[in-house]
Amino acid sequence: MLNDIKKTISLYLKSKINLDEAQIYNLLEVPKVYEHGHLSLPLFQMAKLEKTNPMELAKNLQAQIEKEYSEKLGSEKLGSEELQSKNRINYGIEKVQAVGGYLNITLQSSFFQENVVSGILSKKQIGFSQEGVGQKVAVDFSSPNVAKPMHVGHLRATMIGNAICNLAESQGYEVLSINHLGDWGSQFGKLAWAYKQWGSEYDFSERPIDAFLKIYIRFHEEAEKDPTLVQKGTEQFRRLEEGDLETRQIWELIIKYSMADFSRLYKILGIHHKFVLGESFYNDKLEDVVQRLKDKNLLQESEGAQVVFFDEKENMPPCLIKKSDGASIYATRDLAAAIYRHEEMKAHKLLYVVGQDQTLHFKQVFRVLEKMGYEWAKEMFHITFGLYRFKDGKLSTRQGKIVLFEDILNQSMDLVREMIEEKNPNLNHKELVTQQVAIGAVIFNDLVNDRSKNVEFDWDRAISIEGDSGPYVQYTVVRCRSLMRKFGKPVKESFETLLQSPEEQKLLFRLLQLDHVLKISFNHFKPNFLAQYLLEVCSDFSHFYHAHRILGESEAIESSRMTLVLATEKILTQGLQILGIPTPDEM
RNA sequence: GCGGCCGUAGCUCAGUUGGAUAGAGUACCUGACUACGAAUCAGGUGGUCGGUGGUUCAAGUCCUCCCGGCCGCACCA
């Protein structure tokens, strides 16, 4: 695919320029304007080094390549066998052109088809790389809080995290996906206290999570009036930490209900964590962290608490390790978790898919580990994302101001159902497809934009199924599959004839770029690069589809175009799978 | 106050280590279904890339300062 092509071209060019293969490889870019060619080599930097004019440099290079080309091949006419040898000599280059300070390279149409066959049609996992083979990457994502329902924010973390996991796999890494459940902390003291106090007033048989949420909100409302409630909650949490039986039973009940609820949603989304290790899992590992910090003389007492201070120039408040009452805290558990993931799980990279409001916390945790002398802390990454907001402010569980994931899914399904009744009322498996398309709309909408930006929650946008949306990509897949059904026989995994029209060429070249897109998507931890790419594939496919008849053309053309359809279907399906979006056969 | 993220078309947003003419969707206007699926496609209107100064052959992208929005700033997670 594209990266192989770039390697080939770099190999060819290195004997002609004063740059090594890797430098050329990194400079080679796909021009934004398709008419400029397939690949382009900017020569400005090099011209500066050699104190020459970049335009001259490009022209000389062009002349040199053209000369070599004509010497080796002469002016004889080329048959198909000669064409192959031409590819060998010229590395698939059709022509080069010096424009401005660029060397624009146009590749041969047959070269693309060869690459589509070898890189797409004969592959199970398309565009995958071996780069991370032998390395493990731990991805902490989703991590909802027990006793609270999943809202859009968790949905965002879950979608992004799942896509990052799949992207890591595409680069050859072994992925350790971890659900770091929020199952510990003083809010469980509050909840347990509130449950004991008012539990009998609520119905826990139908929707237990809703009942717990109501109790939690009530606690905070009443705490406004009676500040001693907070103390009572703290006291109750202390009992939980000490192993008080009654409190612990309430806690276990909460976990049981929550997990059942989460599992149902994960199943709908097709998400599976290899490890579910909540915060409570690290309770017996916290003392070890404290001891290690003491051994390294990093722990200091301040205002009755145990903390780690940072250098003044780092401009960060100290990292709290133990509260003044001796209880553990957030950072302590994350330190223990990081150490566990590195030492026990043998992870090389540690990724945290957590909202940007926790940036300082992770900066502190990473820095503490560095101060402890752990080199591997350099391979820890906080993958931030912007928060969902309402027009009047942040989502807040305490104030009951939340949009639940299930509400969105249901609204989305209503809209899709309406569309199906209008467009395709005789569809098979209606409910399943409705869910698949609805999920596609919601997930794609979340992943298509840069994750670092806040999103103002808007119903119409969240469930949109028109224009640049998940269903648009799914629809393109459905059209491909529909063609394949109508074609009525197996599609050949090779091209019978050269597809040379601009639409076909453009699509072929686009399909070959998936490997590059997967690589940069993972390197930047940005699933939106992939989502945007899929939209471009769809757009190129549509141009091809509308410009050319496929079925009913002469046999060789029909067969070759169907091969192109198959390749498109495979690329889109592979891309959507990585984003966590299902592809129905019909919709 | 200190720190981080963000500011691109009426609206919502893309824009990969700085590269050629800043792109989509939506909305609005026009056109294409006896058609391989119109959940689609083609064309049009729409831009001081928040402002300023700088670095560079080249700046939406990097640096300075200013303006605006959001988030965070030790005993919640």
What pLDDT is attached to residue A224? Answer: 82
* Residues A258, A201: Cα–Cα separation, whole Å: 20
Q: What CA–CA distance (Å, rounded) separates A194 from A199?
A: 7
Q: Of A225, A224, A219, A257, whose CA–CA distance to A237 is shortest?
A: A219
Ordered alpha helix ranges (H), A92-151: 109-116
Please provide the size of chain A in residues.
Answer: 587
Residue listed under structure tokens 């690459």: A115
What is the per-residue pLDDT for A78?
46
Nearest nucleotide by C1' position to the A513 CA atom: B16
Whole-number Å distance between alpha carbons of A565 and A545: 9
Task: Say whether the CB atom of A392 is under 7 angstroms from strand B.
Answer: no
Helices A187-198, A228-242: crossing angle, 10 deg rounding: 100
Integer Cα distance of A82 and A11 in angstroms: 22
Q: Say if residues A206 and A251 touch (Cβ distance below 8 Å).
A: no
Distance CA A183, CA A236 (A): 15
A44-CA/B18-C1' distance, Å: 12
Q: Are the C-beta atoms of A444 and A470 separated by less than 8 Å?
A: yes
State how beta strands A388-390 and A275-276 pair: unpaired
Q: What pLDDT sits at residue A575?
A: 98
CA–CA gap between residue A61 and residue A97 (Å, rounded)? 9
For residues A164 and A318, give the distance between their C-alpha atoms in angstroms, rounded to a whole number.
31
Which residues numbered 256-275 in chain A sit less than 7 A from strand B, measured from CB? none
Euclidean distance between CA atoms A185 and A331, whole angstroms: 12
Cα separation, A149 vs A132, in Å, equals 36
pTM: 0.94
Q: Which nucleotides of B are covered by protein (CB under 7 A)?
A: 2-6, 12-17, 19-21, 23-26, 36-42, 57-58, 69-77
Strand B proximal to A81 Cβ, under 7 A = no
Q: What are phi and psi of A139, to 5 degrees?
A: -115, 115
CB A118 within 8 A of CB A97: no
The answer to whether A536 CB sits below 7 Å from nucleic acid chain B is no
Half-sphere exposure of A21 (CA within 13 A, CB side): 10
Distance CA A341, CA A492 (A): 46
Residue A74, phi-psi category: left (phi > 0), alpha (psi -120 to 50), beta (remainder): left
Contact at 8 Å (CB) between A470 and A445? yes
pLDDT in 10s for each residue of chain A, 587 residues: 999 999 989 988 888 888 888 889 999 999 988 888 999 999 998 888 888 888 888 999 898 888 877 776 654 444 444 544 555 556 788 888 998 889 999 998 888 999 999 999 999 999 999 999 999 999 999 999 898 888 888 889 999 999 999 999 999 999 999 999 999 888 899 999 999 999 999 988 888 888 888 888 888 888 888 888 888 888 898 889 888 999 999 999 999 999 999 999 999 999 999 999 999 999 999 999 999 999 999 999 999 999 999 998 888 999 999 999 888 889 999 999 999 999 999 999 999 999 999 999 999 999 999 999 999 999 999 999 998 876 555 555 544 557 788 888 898 999 999 999 999 999 999 999 999 999 999 999 999 999 999 887 888 888 888 899 999 999 999 999 999 999 999 999 999 999 989 999 999 999 999 999 999 999 999 999 999 999 999 999 999 999 999 999 999 999 999 999 999 999 999 999 999 999 999 99
User: Does residue A318 approach strand B to less than 7 Å at its CB?
Assistant: yes
- Strand B–CB A539 distance below 7 A: yes
Residue A405 has a pLDDT of 84
Res A52: pLDDT = 84
Q: Which of residues 160-179 of A touch strand B (CB under 7 A)?
A: none
pLDDT at A90: 67
Cα–Cα distance list, A401 to A37, A182, A388, A398, A548 (Å): 52, 20, 12, 8, 52
Rg (CA), chain A: 29
Contact A397, A213 (CB under 8 A): yes
Query: From the Cβ of A128, is strand B under 7 Å away?
Result: no
Strand B and A555 CB separated by under 7 Å:
no
Residue with token string 């059709």: A94
Helices (H), A199-285: 208-225, 228-242, 245-269
- Nearest residue (Cα to C1') for B72? A357
Q: CB of A48 under 7 A from strand B?
A: yes
Q: How far apart are the first and last CA of chain A?
A: 31
